[in-house]
């Protein structure tokens, strides 16, 4: 069979994956804290029909003769650039301005921490700050952040401090929201529901979980970070992927026509 046919098949598979990633990006264009994906290609392998030779006293050098055998996916990146901030005016809507991820867990256990940039938090019946899925927002001490139900008001500072005015008018700022920063944030593993998990590629988070410390950003109350998906870029990439898919399909059909001509040589 012709090598071009198998090269075309590899191209079809790769551009299908690219379309899958683009479709996921577009479907999450309004997902808070979402980080878009990107597909990177590389060539597969080249078959050497004649090796290279160096120059001699009587003849110059000759370059190798190689035929490529298709392409493959080099990486599916997570682009961790910051999204734009949307004003909401709601105290419990939080955005990280700069590097860092909110730390959330299903309880006080530090062995099952997830990380997120989606800062739409809520207060449950017990007064604990939770995500939309009921995960607890962790403080710098590793415990839950609790706002007494009898409190008059609350506010959150850029350093993550939770300022609570009690029913008798006294102010408490003993609790502080924690942030995590990773050596390679693009190496975090997406686990769904706006959550990320630590991976061997991301490295371990910085031990200092205080906002505005160790290179981490500040917390903005009354804002939410939008998705970093750019629709104009995604539609352009969709067109490129579609044309690439069509071109590889044409390679297969052209190779098939050549094979048909070969078969028809003997009638």
Q: Cβ neighbours of residue 142 under 8 Å, at least 6 residues apart?
A: 108, 110, 178
**209/118 same-domain check:** yes
11 domain residue, yes or no: yes
Residue 91 lies in a domain: yes
- Torsions phi, psi of 75, nearest 5? -165, 150
CA distance 218 to 48: 55
Overall domain count for the chain: 2
Q: Are residues 114 and 166 in the same domain?
A: yes
The answer to the question of residue 208 being in a domain is yes
Is 56 within the bounds of a domain?
A: no
Specify the pLDDT at position 116: 96
pLDDT digits (tens), the chain, 267 positions: 688 888 999 999 999 999 999 999 999 999 999 999 999 999 998 888 899 999 988 899 999 998 989 999 999 999 999 999 999 999 999 999 999 999 999 976 667 899 999 999 999 999 999 999 999 999 998 889 999 988 899 999 999 999 999 888 889 888 999 999 999 999 999 999 999 999 999 999 988 899 998 889 999 999 999 999 999 999 999 999 999 999 999 999 998 888 888 888 876
Are residues 206 and 129 both part of a single domain? yes
DSSP 23: H
Residues 181 and 239 in one domain: no
Give the pLDDT score at 266. 75
Are both 130 and 252 inside the same structural domain?
Answer: no
Residue 182's pLDDT is: 95
Determine the pLDDT at residue 65. Answer: 92
Residues 134 and 98 in one domain: yes
Domain that holds residue 12: 3-48+65-80+229-263
137 with 191, same domain? yes
240: left (phi over 0), alpha (psi -120 to 50) or beta: alpha
Instruction: Please count the other Cβ atoms lying within 10 Å of the Cβ belonging to residue 74.
Output: 12
Identify the pLDDT of residue 108.
63
Q: What is the pTM of this model?
A: 0.88
Residues 58 and 69: their CA atoms lie apart, in Å, by 34
Identify whether the C-beta of residue 205 lies closer than 8 Å to the C-beta of residue 198: yes
Residues 134 and 250 in one domain: no
**236/215 same-domain check:** no
Claim to verify: residue 145 and residue 25 sit in the same structural domain: no
144 in any annotated domain = yes
53 falls within a domain: no
């Amino acid at each position: 069979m012709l090598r071009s046919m198998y090269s075309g098949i590899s191209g079809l598979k790769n551009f299908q994956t690219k379309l899958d990633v683009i479709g996921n990006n577009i479907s999450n264009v309004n997902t808070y804290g979402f980080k878009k994906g990107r597909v990177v290609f590389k060539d597969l392998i080249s078959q050497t029909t004649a090796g290279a030779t160096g120059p001699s006293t009587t003849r110059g050098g000759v370059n190798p003769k190689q035929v490529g055998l298709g392409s493959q996916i080099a990486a599916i990146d997570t682009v961790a650039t910051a999204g734009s901030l949307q004003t909401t005016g709601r105290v419990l809507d939080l955005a990280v301005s700069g590097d860092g991820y909110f730390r959330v867990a299903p309880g006080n256990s530090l062995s099952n921490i997830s990380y997120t940039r989606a800062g739409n938090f809520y207060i449950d019946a017990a007064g604990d700050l939770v995500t939309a899925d009921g995960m607890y927002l962790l403080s710098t001490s590793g415990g839950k952040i609790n706002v007494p139900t009898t409190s008059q008001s609350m506010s959150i500072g850029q350093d993550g401090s939770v300022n609570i005015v009690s029913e008798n008018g006294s102010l408490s700022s003993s609790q502080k929201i924690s942030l995590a920063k990773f050596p390679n944030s693009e190496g975090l593993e997406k686990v769904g529901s706006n959550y990320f998990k630590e991976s061997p590629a991301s490295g371990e988070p910085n031990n200092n979980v205080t906002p505005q410390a160790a290179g981490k950003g500040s917390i903005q109350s009354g804002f939410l970070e939008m998705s970093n998906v750019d629709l104009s870029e995604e539609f352009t990439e969709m067109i490129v992927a579609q044309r690439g898919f069509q071109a590889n399909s044409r390679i297969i059909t052209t190779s098939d026509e050549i094979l048909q001509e070969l078969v028809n040589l003997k009638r």
